[in-house]
A and B are shown apart, each in its own frame.
Chain A
Amino acid sequence: MVVFFVVIPLLAAFLIPLVSKMREGSARVLAVLSGSLLLLLSIAGIFMIKNGSIVYSLGGWRPPFGICMVLDGLSVLFLLVINLIGFIALLYSWDYIKRYSSQGLYYTLFCLMLAGLNGVAVSGDLFNLYVFLEITSIASYALVAFGTQAEELEAAFKYMVLGSVASAFILLAIGILFGSVSTLNMADIARSLAGSESRKLILFCLGLFTMGFSLKAGLVPFHTWLPDAHPAAPAPVSAMLSGVVIKVIGIYALIRLVFNIFIFTPAISQIFIWMGIISMSVGVLLAIGQWDFKRLLAYHSISQIGYVIFGIGLGTPLGIIGGLFHLFNHSVFKSLLFLNAGSLEYATGTRKLQEINGSGRAMPFTSVSSLVASLSIAGVPPLCGFWSKLIIIIAAFQAGNIIGGITCILVGMVTLASFLKVQKYAFSKQAGDIVSKIKEVPLTMAAAMSVLALFCVLIGLFFVPFLDQLIRPATNVLLEGANYVNLILGG
């Protein structure tokens, strides 16, 4: 069952080049089909783990010796994020990607990226995790460069160089770890490391992992590739990169390792908290000065990821709940914002806020959904972003982290200011010349945006059941880090 999360997109990625040779349009049908299957599967996953986590051993080899896949609360949360946003992005691509040549390649890469992301989320094995991470990374390097203009190629190159540095350090850490404990199964490593995590070599590994995954997550000071790469990609890919990729191969991998393999020490907590504070402040300050809509959004991604890592870094149950909740919310509204930016670019041909001038009247779906998303990211009640930020801020004050709490509030204010600027220039301002020529985007794109906007509102209104069903199981996995070993090794 669990293996289908990887098999379906891999199969789709394999089939698409074959069928698209025969018929151009069949690629997107296949991609959307696999995307919808994955979405259904990940929703089913929520119910499957009601009676406990699921461990799948490939080929029947028991965990310490064979490769295993794990479906627990944390994986389910991330699988839902991946496949929900993935499906919406595929839906959006249906019309959007027609402008590019070689759709077949696009969908192949997209499915490959999905396979890698799902693989990272379910992998119970450190080397497999690295392999899936590389699949995701390489697919996303290619997708960033998909436009093949100078800007895209430069961004992709920068992304690739820095991403490869991170991958190399991660591989180095895995190697050192393997040399030290002679196993790659994550539960087995955790068992071997128990009581010895203060060894210098292990600490060094932890440092390398932290750096590598933080770079993938786009945390300051490892963020420098992100503001180039995210705007350069086609809009649905930007939505995936900002909404999903940085979270799965960055945050998920990092917290899985830190909480379930290593022990969450005060030192690592401090590093997370400070990286969070710095990321959210620097990100938002960089964002407010931007005029390129997608670049502005990319900087906000850095800032919002700062919130996530700050909440999780607090280490308290409430902090982790807030962090994971914000992670989910951010993936919804940030993807939506990137899709909005894509729609504006699709309709007006530009990403410059000054040039888009007041397209609100002409594009009702885009303007309303972007308003919802902007208010969500700025933390205006009762939309989803408000509750997660509120929980993080309360958690910060409960944990006695006054500086962090106040920073969260101030950054929220600057975020609001920044999105007011977006709303004013892109939608509300007196209509410029450009407006008379534009019209609303095609149906699938509008539908994709509307669904995400609906999510923003619904999660905001029903955040309590949402927290109970999804976030709390994921939080428990992190809080009871040692249980991971017992779960997989049956001890």
Chain B
Amino acid sequence: MERTLFFLVTLPISSGALLLLFRAQRARMRFAQLVLLAGLVFSLFVFFRRPNELVVNLIGSYNLYLGINRLSGVILLFVNLFGFLVCLYSRDYSLLKNKGIYFSLLLWLIAFSNLACLAADFIIFIFAWGALLTLLYAFLNLNTAGNNPDSLKSRPSDSANKALVVVGFGDFSLLLGICLYVYTIGTTQMPGVASVMLNNPLNWCSFLLMLCGAFAKAGCGPLHTWIPAAAETAPGPVMAILPASLDKLLGIYLLARICVDFFVLNDSAMAILLLIGASTIMFAVIMALIQHDLRKLLSFHAISQVGYMVLGFGTGVPIGIAGGLFHMVNHALYKSGLFLTGASIGEKKGTFDLEKLGGLATYMPVTFFTGLVFALSISGVPPFNGFASKWLLYQATLIGMFTTENRFLALVFLIALVAAMFGSALTLASFIKFIHAIFLGQEERPSEKKKPEEVSAPMRTAVVVLAGLCIVLGVVPNLFLREFIEPWMSQRVFFLGTWNSAVSFVLIFTGLLLGLLYWASGKDKKVRQDDLFIGGEEPVFGPNFPATEFYRTIEDLPLMKRLYLFLKSESLDLFNLLGRLLRSLAYLLYIFVDRMLNLLTYLCGYLVLGFSWAFRKAHTGVLDFYLVWVLCGLLLVIFFLFRSY
């Protein structure tokens, strides 16, 4: 068991390399799928063996530790699950160019994610983290097919560079933070029980730097900017595996280790986490509201949801931490599902513009229903999984607010609660637009050429599995909590309010069934068409009710207009800030160093030429004159010889 853990890393790495030897595309896909299936089975096996704090010394005396605990076992399981599903989906995804390298990258991605989960010491961890950054860069550099005109607005390399800089900044901070932390605790082995208090500047620095690493990975504000940029150019499956699932799993895993295993949080740290979480929820969802590109819309939601997870850890109570982790799993499920849905639509329609889409529910029923499940889940509608985890988080903020003695912290808890609930509502608003614009409503200019069909079976399977998991986790959240999350936590999760999701699920399902029966009975099948009537006002939009139109009015509200202008300007974008800083630095260097040196060089040059001129003037070519020089020279030589005499 101990050393076999390492197979989870070595097997995908070697198979990824081996894959490149295969000639046939299909063989590569099959092989990759097989390896990922093996990884999934093995991680299931590892999970159900319930290893408790196992640590293996990897190479003799070098003190490199691999290990697994209750939390990393769960993460490992989900990493391999997503790897397998996305691989399944990618098989028939045609917008992806150069699939050979893609499958190798996918295998390596899973390998290094496994390694990051299995790392029981900081050296292996930071190594895996660096490899993941490299793979992220490689993935984002993949070209999507040229038949997708939307993606040509910005080049893949631009967004890849942006991700490299922002996540690279985070990784660098993480490395610094880890160095400081290792300096404090005196060993590179990861601790299992938090012992470091945030009571001196050194530990604070270490804590904040490590947070930066986790935030950049998970895409939490203010280190989120690479995700919307990547969404515009990266292929759908890549978005589904990286920012939507794996990066969240690993980023939040790191956050969990930081907040629970590495540091003992105090009130200020909690307030920082809560505020970052709350503000991330709010501004990202506000940005999401006005997006017309479905990939960008999804990417802003991917940021917004991270806010919930961070907020959960910020509460510092067991139910909040459990809620954060639960939300992480849920989010990975529905967000990767949503990105895959988006990819399916792009695959069939060739565009991601919400204004150009519409009415796809008829042609793509499976995609519609799974998309609806994901949308309701992310919006926190009961009885789906998003509600279950958000419910835990609301309780956690309430518990935190009532138990803390710090007035200020109580206020922060209140802000967080409001932000979380309000954010959830805005998410719902945004996803109504998403569902309406894509699946309902009408196409702006219906293409007569051919009707879109449902995507292929493997692609459907992948999204159906994800949607099924969303429902299952929504119906039996307590089971998941007991089996997957509580074992890692030192305390039992204490519930403030109870929510019997199974019963409500049955009730809701019965209601839906009854409605369906009523509809099937055929009473209301006749449809009457009439003119538009909006309180006597002229309708500003056509009869096809474009979903994006309403959201434009939000953008034009007096206060919101300012806010959007500020947010859209990306003036807080780390990438832009760094770029501006470097540019000004370069300019200063140019003026004060380069130009000065240039001036100096010219001065020297003129000096040399001046001397040259003077010496040439002295050489008159007159023989008598030269003879005088010779005699003077002789006198000087003799003078110097005799001086020492």
The CA-CA distance from A289 to B626 in the complex, in Å, is: 20
**A349 sits at the interface (CB 8 A):** no
Please determine whether B615 and A285 come into contact, CB atoms closer than 8 angstroms: yes
Please determine whether B641 and A225 come into contact, CB atoms closer than 8 angstroms: no
Of B360-368, B450-458, B632-640, which binds chain A? Answer: B632-640
Which chain A residues border B637 with CB–CB below 8 Å?
207, 210-211, 214, 271
Contacts A165-B627, A198-B645 given: A414-B638 contact, CB under 8 Å? no
CB within 8 Å of A: which of B614-645? Answer: 615-616, 619, 621, 623, 626-627, 629-630, 632-634, 637-638, 640-645
The one of B611, B623, B629, B645 in contact with A221, judged by C-beta atoms closer than 8 angstroms, is B629
The CA-CA distance from A165 to B608 in the complex, in Å, is: 33
Which chain A residues border B630 with CB–CB below 8 Å?
162, 165-166, 211, 215, 221-222, 224
Which chain B residues border A215 with CB–CB below 8 Å?
630
Minimum distance in angstroms from B602 CB to a CB of chain A: 13
Contacts A158-B623, A225-B626, A267-B644 given: A286-B612 contact, CB under 8 Å? yes
**B613 sits at the interface (CB 8 A):** yes
Please determine whether B611 and A207 come into contact, CB atoms closer than 8 angstroms: no
Contacts A286-B612, A288-B612, A414-B608 given: A203-B629 contact, CB under 8 Å? no
Contacts A169-B634, A288-B608 given: A207-B627 contact, CB under 8 Å? no
Please determine whether B633 and A221 come into contact, CB atoms closer than 8 angstroms: yes
The CA-CA distance from A36 to B543 in the complex, in Å, is: 105
**A268 sits at the interface (CB 8 A):** yes
Which chain A residues border B638 with CB–CB below 8 Å?
203-204, 207, 211
The CA-CA distance from A361 to B3 in the complex, in Å, is: 68
CB within 8 Å of A: which of B560-618? Answer: 605, 608-609, 611-613, 615-616
Number of interface residues of B (CB under 8 A): 26
Please determine whether B645 and A289 come into contact, CB atoms closer than 8 angstroms: no
CB within 8 Å of B: which of A180-213? Answer: 198, 200, 203-204, 206-208, 210-211
Smallest Cβ-Cβ distance to A208: which chain B residue: B634
**A102 sits at the interface (CB 8 A):** no
**A266 sits at the interface (CB 8 A):** yes
Contacts A169-B634, A211-B637, A285-B612 given: A200-B645 contact, CB under 8 Å? yes
The CA-CA distance from A206 to B621 in the complex, in Å, is: 29
**A430 sits at the interface (CB 8 A):** no
Please determine whether B612 and A161 come into contact, CB atoms closer than 8 angstroms: no
Which chain B residues border A169 with CB–CB below 8 Å?
634
The one of A207, A227, A414 in contact with B634, judged by C-beta atoms closer than 8 angstroms, is A207
Contacts A203-B641, A286-B619, A288-B608 given: A222-B633 contact, CB under 8 Å? yes
For A269-305 the 0/1 string (1 means CB < 8 A from B) is: 0110000000000100110110000000000000000
Which chain B residues border A200 with CB–CB below 8 Å?
642, 645
Which chain A residues border B615 with CB–CB below 8 Å?
282, 285-286
Please determine whether B612 and A270 come into contact, CB atoms closer than 8 angstroms: no
Smallest Cβ-Cβ distance to B633: which chain A residue: A221
The CA-CA distance from A266 to B638 in the complex, in Å, is: 14
The CA-CA distance from A169 to B613 in the complex, in Å, is: 32
**A401 sits at the interface (CB 8 A):** no
The one of A203, A208, A288 in contact with B642, judged by C-beta atoms closer than 8 angstroms, is A203
The one of A228, A270, A271, A286 in contact with B621, judged by C-beta atoms closer than 8 angstroms, is A228
Which chain B residues border A486 with CB–CB below 8 Å?
none
The CA-CA distance from A1 to B616 in the complex, in Å, is: 48
The CA-CA distance from A163 to B506 in the complex, in Å, is: 121
For A333-351 the 0/1 string (1 means CB < 8 A from B) is: 0000000000000000000
CB within 8 Å of B: which of A141-171? Answer: 157-158, 161-162, 165-166, 169
Smallest Cβ-Cβ distance to B626: which chain A residue: A224
Please determine whether A221 and B640 come into contact, CB atoms closer than 8 angstroms: no
The CA-CA distance from A225 to B637 in the complex, in Å, is: 19
SS class, residues of chain A in contact with chain B: helix
The CA-CA distance from A393 to B621 in the complex, in Å, is: 34
Which chain B residues border A288 with CB–CB below 8 Å?
608-609, 612
Smallest Cβ-Cβ distance to A288: which chain B residue: B612
The CA-CA distance from A224 to B626 in the complex, in Å, is: 6
**A265 sits at the interface (CB 8 A):** yes
Please determine whether B640 and A224 come into contact, CB atoms closer than 8 angstroms: no
Smallest Cβ-Cβ distance to B630: which chain A residue: A222
Which chain B residues border A282 with CB–CB below 8 Å?
615
Please determine whether B629 and A224 come into contact, CB atoms closer than 8 angstroms: yes
Which chain A residues border B634 with CB–CB below 8 Å?
169, 207-208, 211
Contacts A165-B627, A289-B609, A414-B608 given: A221-B632 contact, CB under 8 Å? yes
Which chain A residues border B626 with CB–CB below 8 Å?
158, 162, 224-225
Which chain A residues border B609 with CB–CB below 8 Å?
288-289
Contacts A271-B640, A286-B612 given: A203-B645 contact, CB under 8 Å? yes
The CA-CA distance from A210 to B609 in the complex, in Å, is: 31
Please determine whether A207 and B621 come into contact, CB atoms closer than 8 angstroms: no
Minimum distance in angstroms from B342 CB to a CB of chain A: 58
Please determine whether B642 and A270 come into contact, CB atoms closer than 8 angstroms: no
With most chain B CB atoms within 10 A of its CB, the pick from A200, A214, A271, A285 is A285
Please determine whether B616 and A271 come into contact, CB atoms closer than 8 angstroms: no
With most chain B CB atoms within 10 A of its CB, the pick from A204, A286, A288 is A286
Minimum distance in angstroms from B318 CB to a CB of chain A: 69
Minimum distance in angstroms from B283 CB to a CB of chain A: 58
Which chain B residues border A228 with CB–CB below 8 Å?
621
Minimum distance in angstroms from B169 CB to a CB of chain A: 40
CB within 8 Å of B: which of A205-259? Answer: 206-208, 210-211, 214-215, 221-222, 224-225, 227-228
The CA-CA distance from A286 to B613 in the complex, in Å, is: 8
Which chain B residues border A417 with CB–CB below 8 Å?
605, 608
Minimum distance in angstroms from A165 CB to a CB of chain B: 6
Contacts A285-B608, A289-B613 given: A270-B627 contact, CB under 8 Å? no
Which chain B residues border A211 with CB–CB below 8 Å?
630, 633-634, 637-638
The CA-CA distance from A4 to B608 in the complex, in Å, is: 48
Which chain A residues border B645 with CB–CB below 8 Å?
198, 200, 203
The CA-CA distance from A215 to B637 in the complex, in Å, is: 12
Minimum distance in angstroms from B645 CB to a CB of chain A: 6
The CA-CA distance from A302 to B621 in the complex, in Å, is: 17
Which chain A residues border B616 with CB–CB below 8 Å?
286, 289
Which chain B residues border A286 with CB–CB below 8 Å?
612, 615-616, 619
The one of B623, B629, B644 in contact with A161, judged by C-beta atoms closer than 8 angstroms, is B623
The CA-CA distance from A453 to B633 in the complex, in Å, is: 37
Smallest Cβ-Cβ distance to B632: which chain A residue: A221
With most chain B CB atoms within 10 A of its CB, the pick from A165, A169, A221, A222 is A221
Contacts A285-B608, A289-B613 given: A267-B629 contact, CB under 8 Å? no
Please determine whether A268 and B641 come into contact, CB atoms closer than 8 angstroms: yes
The CA-CA distance from A362 to B632 in the complex, in Å, is: 48
The one of A157, A166, A267, A414 in contact with B640, judged by C-beta atoms closer than 8 angstroms, is A267
Please determine whether B619 and A227 come into contact, CB atoms closer than 8 angstroms: yes
The CA-CA distance from A265 to B644 in the complex, in Å, is: 10
Which chain B residues border A214 with CB–CB below 8 Å?
633, 637
Which chain B residues border A161 with CB–CB below 8 Å?
623, 627
Please determine whether B641 and A222 come into contact, CB atoms closer than 8 angstroms: no
With most chain B CB atoms within 10 A of its CB, the pick from A165, A224, A288 is A224
Contacts A162-B630, A165-B630, A222-B633 given: A266-B608 contact, CB under 8 Å? no
Q: B-contacting residues of A (Cβ < 8 Å)?
A: 157-158, 161-162, 165-166, 169, 198, 200, 203-204, 206-208, 210-211, 214-215, 221-222, 224-225, 227-228, 265-268, 270-271, 282, 285-286, 288-289, 414, 417
Show 17 A/B contacts (Cβ-Cβ < 8 Å), sorted by A. Answer: A162-B630, A165-B627, A198-B645, A203-B642, A204-B638, A210-B637, A210-B641, A211-B633, A222-B629, A222-B633, A225-B626, A267-B644, A285-B612, A285-B615, A288-B608, A289-B609, A414-B608
5 cross-chain pairs, A with B, having the tightest CB-CB distances, nearest first: A289-B612, A207-B638, A224-B626, A211-B634, A267-B644
Given contacts A166-B630, A417-B608, 18 further A-B contacts (CB under 8 A): A158-B623, A158-B626, A204-B638, A207-B637, A207-B642, A208-B634, A210-B637, A211-B633, A221-B630, A222-B630, A228-B621, A270-B640, A285-B608, A289-B609, A289-B613, A289-B616, A414-B608, A417-B605
